[in-house]
Chain A
Amino acid sequence: MKRFVPLLLAGILLLILQTTWLSFFPIQRIRPDLLLIFTLYLAFLFPPFLGGILAFFMGYLMDLFSGNTLGFYTFSRTLVFFATQFLKERFYLEGFSFQFLFAFIFSVLEGGLLLILINGLEPVSFGNLYSSLFTFLLPQSFCTGLVSPLLFFLFKKGTSLLFRQPEQGIKAGG
């Protein structure tokens, strides 16, 4: 619980940032997905149980404040978290290029998954969404990728301040 609450509050804070400050950018539509980067960070540094519940909750919050009626993000964010958990043993979350690529790829994959879910579950036609693959999904994922090294650095600093060592979460939790 000690670890859960500060991380949850951090998630809520990022959501507020995403819905207010980032919306005032000149290009409103293309903005980094801070909560996705946070979910990836959780997957790399926190145990599956604590991180999984947090990722689930981050997705739930996204659904709550978006026009999304069914709640796709709760599912997609949990899936992204466990997919990253599965891959984390094979990669090191170090270096700008890796962090950028990792966030970029996951953003594109999540976008793809959302498209499939929307197309499969919503009653309306979503033919137009496919055109947004190039006009919006790729630039948005690129933007998320670009911001991710800075955010990973800040998250790491914040975690080490909160829990002394970021790795503490991995070993002690579960």
Chain B
Amino acid sequence: MRIRDLFLSRRYSLFIFITFLLLFALVLMSLRAKQRKGMEFFDALLMEICSPLQKASTLVIKTVQGTFQKYVFLVNLERENRMLKQKIAELQEENHRTKETKLAMDRLKQLLQFREKNSLSMIGAEVIGQDPSSWFKSVTIDKGERDGVKKGMAVISAAGVIGQILKTAPHYATVLLLTDYNSAIDSIVQRTRAKAIVEGKGENRCQLKYLLRTEEVAVGDAVVTSGLAGNFHKGLMVGEIKKVDKKGHGVFQYAELTPSVDLTKLEEVFVVMEPIPPPPPPKEEKAKKGKKIKK
């Protein structure tokens, strides 16, 4: 059999096709790992196509949810009281609308106060979708590159840190949540100033890594961002220590913390647009530079 016939036979072409697809998937993995530009463009394009549908779907869910909440308790009223029922329904609806407005107002007021209190330049965004897989923790937001959102930017709320921008498209972006296994944020324990890395642990939990055994930390201690590495400004609330374990031996102790933000109920978030200024050069270098200028 000639080589050409070998490739043209259905059995072999199928085998080649399977191998090609699997290899291509592996090549994609490698390209993603190297963060190639071409990949990002294709990702953004697909995201732009799918996210509007996601946004519309979320809107429908919210409407259905609202309607369900408004009318679910009104179905068992008697016929004779139809007029009364209608009145009650109207009042209930109004009441629910007012409550919903009040809740939204409270939430937005809280966000506004937080924004005013912090001098950071931020942009508000709405969460329009959750992670399709249960292994990873991310959400899709309705702000993207056109709004100035860039990969790696910090995402926060009034209650504290949420995560950071993982992928961007012109109008949408994916946020890697604090609780994802891939997430790591340089932090400090507020009371003792002990340094540690907050790593995601899935669910709604995180753990403190590289927390020295000699450091005295207790349950209930607040953990805030250190502002040293990454894109998070100093002093942003990360969470509260829930469990400390010094058992066993080693240099480090184990501590678990609950994020200050309930990441399962995210609706609105802030993307911090301001990059952290680079750390000042060491004093010696400064002095040397000063001397050179004087000379």
A residues touching B (Cβ–Cβ < 8 Å)?
12-13, 15-21, 23-24, 28-31, 33, 35, 48-49, 52-53, 56, 59-62, 64-75, 78-79, 82, 111, 114, 118, 121-122, 124, 126, 128-129, 132, 136, 140
Q: Cβ of A121: which chain B residues have Cβ within 8 Å of it?
A: 29, 33
Q: Which 6 A-B pairs have the closest CB atoms?
A: A67-B138, A67-B136, A23-B130, A75-B25, A20-B57, A19-B129
B135 partner, pick from A13, A30, A79, A114, beta carbons under 8 A: A114
Closest to B209 in A: A125
Q: Is the CB of B61 within 8 A of A68?
A: no
Do the beta carbons of A140 and B134 come within 8 Å of each other?
yes
A-contacting 9-mer, from B71-79, B177-185, B230-238: B177-185
Partner of B136, one of A19, A24, A48, A68: A68
Tell me whether B180 and A67 are in contact (CB under 8 A). yes
Q: Are A15 and B132 in contact (CB under 8 A)?
A: yes
Chain B neighbourhood of A79, CB < 8 A? 22
| Residues of chain B with a CB closer than 8 A to A82's CB | 18, 21-22
In the bound complex, residues from chain A placing their C-beta under 8 Å from that of B18 are 48, 52, 82
Closest chain-B Cβ to A76's Cβ sits at a distance in Å of 8
Within the complex, the shortest CB–CB distance from A79 to chain B, in Å, comes to 7
Task: Give the CA-CA distance A28 to B132 in the complex, in Å.
Answer: 11
Q: Which residues of A contact B137 (CB under 8 A)?
A: 67
Q: With a CB–CB cut-off of 8 A, which chain A residues contact B49?
A: 12
CB distance from B10 to the nearest CB of A (A): 8
Partner of A64, one of B26, B43, B130, B199: B43
Task: Apart from A64-B46, A75-B26, list 13 A-B contacts with CB within 8 A.
Answer: A16-B53, A19-B132, A20-B54, A24-B61, A28-B130, A28-B264, A35-B132, A49-B14, A64-B43, A65-B138, A74-B25, A122-B181, A128-B207
B interface residues, how many (CB within 8 angstroms)? 50
Distance of A122 Cα from B137 Cα, bound (Å): 15
B24 touches A56 (CB 8 A): yes
B182 with A67: CB separation less than 8 A: yes
CA distance A52 to B22 in the complex (A): 10
Whether B29 and A16, one on each chain, are in contact in the complex, defined by CB atoms closer than 8 angstroms, is no
Assembled-state Cα–Cα distance A78/B20 (Å): 11
A67 touches B166 (CB 8 A): yes
Cβ proximity bits B116-131 to A, threshold 8 Å, 1 near / 0 not: 0000000000001111
